[in-house]
Amino acid sequence: MITLFLQRIYGLILKEIMTLLRDPKGRFVLIVPPLLQLFIFAFAATLDIKEARIAIYNQDNGIEGQEVVAYIQGSPVFTQSLPVYNQSQIAPLIETQTVLAALIIPDDFSKNIDAHQSADIQIILDGRRSNAAQIIEGYLSTTIQQYMQAYRASKGFNALSVNVINRHWYNDNLNYLWFSVPSLVCILSMLIALIITALSVARERELGTFEQLLVSPLLPYEILIGKTIPAILIGLIEGCFMWAAAIFLFQIPFYGSTLLMLITLLTFIISIIGIGLFISAISHTQQQAILGTFMFMVPAVTLSGYASPIENMPIWLQKLSWFNPLTHCLITVRGLFLKNITATHVFSHLWPLWIITLITLPLATWYFNRRMQ
């Protein structure tokens, strides 16, 4: 009995894998896009700003104004500083996004500084790119402070100064790749596992080969097992492949335990399979399965903490993100890469994944059985 059972399932698994891999375009699509995506999006998805163009309107004729300009031009962040000679030139530059910010030094700047009175510097920033603009404001502020320190030191002023020492744990240089690549490992394997599972049943139904499966000796639950195992295998292989690429190609440090990482990937993929099967069960056509996958994936990725921190979301949305398997996977995988988190910690994030699986898999199976009657 057992051997027959195993034989049947093995046969189905083989068939599934062959269907996937036989079409050359299908093979291509399983390998090339994920790799491409990993490369391009790892580098593209950064919220950091390393360079910006600014305009400088120096109305001051004195030395101090020029000193400030010199400091700013000397900073590696401001790759291009366009000099402006007229107030009316500023608006078009910012409107057309030629520059991100404009610095205006008033005409009494040097006079005020030499008279030991405070002077203003105005900065105009493009609020359409508010995240970038805030970062640039920070850089400008720091550069001007450097000028201030130098000035006060040179005039012998009592330095009422306090240093701020910044230390970044786990990622000394705040390298964005160390954040985005581990995240992409999760996201891209989720994408593949989801699409393969969701399409597995829907495609057969649409092409009419599902009926042929039903008249075979396979029992409904055997069909389900036979369909999920290839998806789990492929998802896991993709995940490991990305993980290896992260360590060897991107040089992301991996301080955690390999075993824990494998367990995490496996648990994550299985929870995703549950969702994929559910989508597959409720879809009649491939289009519905693909769109359904999509409509799950887009919110899942955007609300997982990848694009913006979870604590910025409203509280009720934060609670909802607990049900998103990707949220937990991201925290765990990043922790395994950079923080060497303990097993206890890993499992504290894995048990929600088990709960999600325990809800979605039986639901999908039940729905599936109903459909087949």
Partner 1 sequence: MNIRRLNALIIKEIHQITRDPSTLLLAFFFPLLLLFIFGYGVNLDNNHLKVGFINESNDPLSLNLSYAFARADSFTLTLANTRPPLEEDLENGKIRGMIDIPERLGIITLTGIFSPSIQVITDGSEPNTAGFIDRYTNGIVQTWMSQEALFLKEFIPVIIKPRYWYNQGLFSRHFLIPGSIAIIMTLIGTLLTALVIAREWERSTMESMMATPATTTELLLGKTIPYFVLGMGSVFICTFIAIYGYNIPFRGSFGALTLVSAIYLLTALGQGLLISTVAKNQFVASQMALTSAYLPAFMLSGFIFDISAMPQPIQLLTYAVPARYFVTCLQTLFLTGDIWSLLLKNIAAIALIGLLFFIAIVRRTSHRLDE
- Residues 11-50 interacting with partner 1 (rule: CB under 8 A): 23, 25-26, 29, 33, 36-37, 40-41, 43-50
How far is C-alpha 18 from the geometric centre of its chain's CA atoms? 32
Which one of 226-234, 244-252, 278-286, 362-370 is the stretch in contact with partner 1 (CB under 8 A)?
278-286
The SS3 call for residue 81 is strand
Q: Token pair of 259, please? A: 């075993």
Alpha-carbon span 8 to 217, nearest angstrom:
8
Burial of 318 (0-12, 13-18, 19+ CB in 10 A): middle
Say whether residue 179 binds partner 1 (CB under 8 A): yes
Q: How far is the CB of 342 from partner 1 (least distance, A)?
A: 9
- Cβ-based nearer residue to partner 1, 140 or 245: 140
- Cβ-based nearer residue to partner 1, 1 or 159: 159
Q: If you search the block for the tokens 């409904």, which residue do you land on?
A: 220
Q: How far is the CB of 296 from partner 1 (least distance, A)?
A: 11
Can you give the three-state secondary structure of 309-332, one letter per residue?
CHHHCCHHHHHHHHHCHHHHHHHH
Q: How far is the CB of 7 from partner 1 (least distance, A)?
A: 28
Closest C-alpha among 155, 125, 152, 157 to residue 138: 125
Say whether residue 162 binds partner 1 (CB under 8 A): yes
Residues 109-128 that bind partner 1 (CB under 8 A): 113, 116, 118-128
- Yes or no: say if 167 and 33 are a contact pair by the CB < 8 Å rule: no
Say whether residue 163 binds partner 1 (CB under 8 A): yes
Residues 196-225 that bind partner 1 (CB under 8 A): 199, 203, 206-207
Alpha-carbon span 197 to 31, nearest angstrom:
17
Alpha-carbon span 280 to 282, nearest angstrom:
6
Q: How far is the CB of 180 from partner 1 (least distance, A)?
A: 9
- Cβ-based nearer residue to partner 1, 67 or 222: 67
Alpha-carbon span 265 to 329, nearest angstrom:
8
Say whether residue 129 binds partner 1 (CB under 8 A): yes
Say whether residue 62 binds partner 1 (CB under 8 A): no
Say whether residue 132 binds partner 1 (CB under 8 A): yes
Q: Which of 6, 7, 18, 51 binds partner 1 (CB under 8 A)?
A: 51
Say whether residue 87 binds partner 1 (CB under 8 A): no
- Cβ-based nearer residue to partner 1, 31 or 219: 31
At residue 36's C-alpha, the angle toward residues 31 and 38, to 5°, is: 100
Say whether residue 10 binds partner 1 (CB under 8 A): no
Q: Which of 2, 165, 215, 259 binds partner 1 (CB under 8 A)?
A: 165
The set of residues, in sequence order, having a beta carbon less than 8 Å from that of 228 and lying 6+ positions away, is 197, 273, 277
Q: Which of 59, 73, 75, 288 binds partner 1 (CB under 8 A)?
A: 288
Say whether residue 331 binds partner 1 (CB under 8 A): yes
- Cβ-based nearer residue to partner 1, 174 or 219: 174
- Yes or no: say if 54 and 94 are a contact pair by the CB < 8 Å rule: no
